[in-house]
Amino acid sequence: MQATRGTPLVVAMVALTVTTGMIEAVSFLGLGQVFTAMQTGNLLFLGFALAGEGGLSAAASGLSLGAFAVGAVLGARLEAKAYAVRRRWFLGGLLAEAVLLGGAALVAWGSDRSGEPLTTHRYALITLMALAMGLRNVTTLRAGVPDLPTTVETRALTALLNGPPVGRTPGAGEAVHPALRRTASVAAMFTGGLVGAWLLHEGRHAPGVLLVAAVVVLAVALVYGVAPRRRPPEAES
């Protein structure tokens, strides 16, 4: 059964999508052609790197894939445990993600202060960010909001361009709300990438961008936790 699709949850997912764009700006532009949320790109990068093309790092792509997988497994376990004690897994998942992103900001800040090139710091950053995004994917997947996965936009963009099925009379609200969700999803990812890249271009180094992302995730968790709404149903086993 899918979680509630009420306004507070939709707004939360849009805000989280913005943070994904910011995080990917740091990982791709700051850490050297590696993604930490969009793992399809890393699968391709890993293949390209193993073929010796493009000057890509197989270690970075492979590490991101592995850390993402670990984050997804931990997220699933967190969800199962929260379900067992009847707690809100969505809120808990966001809090855990904010901690990981905050840790990544601290690691990035330490590398900036040392003045050394990103070596072990780079891999530590990739690990923490990919862990956070793996956890995020489980959290948002179980939330079940259509068109707002927060880390990929291909399906939302395709659905937005495709529109409602021909010859079908949409139900109450369906002709408007899906389009709004899809537009908000695509716009949020673009905005996050634009803001992240702009901040990096303006000299706001990776620690600051990651810290902003962590604060936004934390704020989403806290605001969503107190917003009046129906409580999301627990995930089915």
H/E stretch holding 173: none
Return d(Cα 48, Cα 50) in angstroms, integer. 6
CB neighbour class for 206 (10 Å; exposed up to 12, middle 13-18, buried from 19): buried
pTM of the predicted structure, to 2 decimals: 0.82
Contact of 103 with 41, CB cutoff 8 Å:
no
Tokens coding 25: 């700006």
Tokens coding 155: 């399906």
Q: Quick: pLDDT tens for 125-136.
A: 999 999 999 999
Q: Which domain holds residue 137?
A: 7-163+171-226
Quick one: pLDDT band at residue 68, thresholds 50, 70, 90? very high
Is the pLDDT at 49 greater than 90? The verdict is yes
Does any domain span residue 55? yes
Does any domain span residue 234? no
Does any domain span residue 1? no
> Total domain count for the chain?
1
Cα Rg for the chain, rounded, in angstroms? 18
Does any domain span residue 237? no
Does any domain span residue 108? yes
Return d(Cα 108, Cα 26) in angstroms, integer. 10
End-to-end CA distance of the chain: 10
Does any domain span residue 235? no
Quick one: pLDDT band at residue 60, thresholds 50, 70, 90? very high
Q: Quick: pLDDT tens for 148-195.
A: 888 887 777 787 787 654 444 443 233 336 788 888 889 999 999 999
